[in-house]
């Protein structure tokens, strides 16, 4: 039966061909003399010709062996360079990394982190794909996804890198005109701006101690883009519910004001998700570690 590896025995043969010594070749290859001999015998059997003449005193190349050696000049350095190039992905953040992230995380949070990471790793390039869909990492050829939701998938590593509380808020102008809700169920009488991809649908859930209230809504405006809802809320269109990483800057600037501050909503965990295998590329491991550190100091994304 022919070997499936066309290079099997070639390194052993070339080392013996250079030194004309099985012992020296075995030492160079860090294997036993018997293993070197067995590999060359298997190579000769596969080629159907004798490459070396062996005596108790000397090793000599046959005519076929000489021709084979000459034809293989430069092969081993190329193989070693190929192995070095492949191995570099395990030791350096190099190559190209494909990342999936949500549109409300990408521009303000992930893109700035990528810019800083690229400065530290000039041998790397990044393809950032922004989508609301939970992508299949393997089928989509993604190295990494940044998600606010977790789906159970086989052979996937999930690491929490941050968290962001949901906040109900409105503009000062809206609150001055319509007043602030005192309880969550007061929202039924207010204009509410709903993110259409919210996993609870058109139901906002509030908690206070042991009390829990579910408020069904008929939204005044609904949109699948949270930044558009922010624009509408700042303009006085109504009360919106969004993660702090979306509305935090507007709240700190005073353009939006939290409502129902005594009631809490869910906290959104932010996860880095990537395929699990024994040899996770250094670019992925390094970027995830960088994100953890980068987000640790962010007022709207740090994990408590």
pLDDT tens digit sequence for 40-70 = 888 888 888 888 888 777 888 888 888 888 8
The pLDDT of residue 234: 97
pLDDT on residue 151: 55
Which CATH number covers residue 68?
Answer: 1.10.10.10
Please check whether residues 234 and 182 belong to one and the same domain. Answer: yes
Query: Does any domain span residue 79?
Result: no
pTM of the predicted model over 0.85: no
Q: Are 270 and 161 in contact (CB under 8 A)?
A: yes
Query: Is 5 inside any structural domain?
Result: no
Structure confidence at residue 154 (pLDDT): 62
Residue 302 maps to a domain: no
Is position 263 within any domain?
yes
pLDDT at position 187 is: 95
181 and 210 housed in the same domain: yes
Regarding whether 253 and 169 lie in a shared domain, the answer is yes
Same-domain check for residues 149 and 35:
no
Residue 303 lies inside a defined structural domain of this protein: no
Give the residue numbers spanning the domain of 54. 10-73
Taking only the tens place, the pLDDT of each residue in 125-141 is 999 999 888 888 878 88
Determine the pLDDT at residue 1.
35
In this structure, are 188 and 251 located in the same domain?
Answer: yes
Token pair for 8 = 């099997």
Would you say residue 232 lies in a domain? yes
What are the per-10-residue average pLDDT scores of the chain (304 residues)? 57 84 85 87 86 82 83 71 54 77 89 92 90 83 82 72 93 96 94 89 91 91 94 97 94 96 91 76 88 87 64
**What is the number of structural domains in the chain?**
3
Q: What pLDDT score was predicted for residue 150? A: 54
Could you tell me if 34 and 180 lie in one domain? Answer: no
Is 4 part of a structural domain of the chain? Answer: no
């Amino acid at each position: 039966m022919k070997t499936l590896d066309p290079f099997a025995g070639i390194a052993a043969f070339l080392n013996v061909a250079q030194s004309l010594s099985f012992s020296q070749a075995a030492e160079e290859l860090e294997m036993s003399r018997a293993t070197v001999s067995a590999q060359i015998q298997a190579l000769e059997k596969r080629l159907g010709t004798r490459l070396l003449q062996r005596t108790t005193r000397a090793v000599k190349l046959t005519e076929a062996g000489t021709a084979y050696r000459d034809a293989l000049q430069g092969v081993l350095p190329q193989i070693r360079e190929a192995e070095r190039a492949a191995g570099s992905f395990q030791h350096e953040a190099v190559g190209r990394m494909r990342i999936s992230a949500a549109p409300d995380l990408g521009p303000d949070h992930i893109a700035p982190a990528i810019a800083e990471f690229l400065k530290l790793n000039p041998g790397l390039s990044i393809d950032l794909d922004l989508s609301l869909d939970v992508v299949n990492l393997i089928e989509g050829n993604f190295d990494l996804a940044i998600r606010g939701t977790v789906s159970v998938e086989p052979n996937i590593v999930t690491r929490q890198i941050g968290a962001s509380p949901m906040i109900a808020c409105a503009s000062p102008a809206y609150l001055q005109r319509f007043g602030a809700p005192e309880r969550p169920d007061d929202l039924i009488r207010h204009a509410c701006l709903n993110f259409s991809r919210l996993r609870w649908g058109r139901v906002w859930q509030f908690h206070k101690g042991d009390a829990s209230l579910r408020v069904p809504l008929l939204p005044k405006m609904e949109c699948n883009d949270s930044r558009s809802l922010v624009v509408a809320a700042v303009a006085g269109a109504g009360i919106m519910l969004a993660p702090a990483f979306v509305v935090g800057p507007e709240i700190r600037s005073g353009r939006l004001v939290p409502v129902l501050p005594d009631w809490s909503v869910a906290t959104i965990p932010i996860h880095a998700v990537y395929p699990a295998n024994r040899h996770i590329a250094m670019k992925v491991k390094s970027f995830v570690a960088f994100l953890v550190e980068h987000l640790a100091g962010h007022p709207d994304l740090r994990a408590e």
